[in-house]
Amino acid sequence: MSIISKKALSKIQPNMTVSLGGGSNVLTLAKDLNNAQIPGLRLYSPSEITKFQCEQLGLNILALNDNMPKFDLAFDGCDSIDQNFNALKSGGGIHLFEKIAAENAKEYIRKLQ
């Protein structure tokens, strides 16, 4: 388990509603969530890639629809950092949905670090 994932898992409690954004750190978190088997956890993702990878792990990702839930936590990540330490987002087009998830979260975690 990575330090980033361990820190993220420390924030996740049973029966929470959590949005998993995109990126390699979020995928690592998903793998660790699968192993942790937190009871009553409801997972969503604005990322089709994350959703697919989670389903491959056996995690149930609920569909986002017009009745957007309020999230207890929304995780987002970045895939790389440039020479000026600017976070570079993926080209997957999920930014709008990540912003919607963030607005619906009690707590929004932008970077896993």
Q: Which ranges of the chain would DSSP assign to H, the alpha helix? A: 3-11, 24-36, 48-57, 95-103
At 97-108, the pLDDT tens digits run 777 788 888 888
Active-site annotation holds for 98: yes
At residue 4, does pLDDT exceed 70? yes
Catalytic residue among 48, 55, 98, 107: 98
CB 49 within 8 A of CB 92: yes
Residue 44 DSSP symbol: E
Angle at 50 between CA 49 and CA 55, to 5 degrees: 100
> Residue 70 burial by CB count (10 A; 0-12/13-18/19+): exposed, middle or buried?
exposed
pLDDT tens digits, one per residue of 34-70? 999 999 999 999 888 899 999 999 999 998 877 778 8
Please report which helix (H) or strand (E) contains residue 28, including its range: helix 24-36
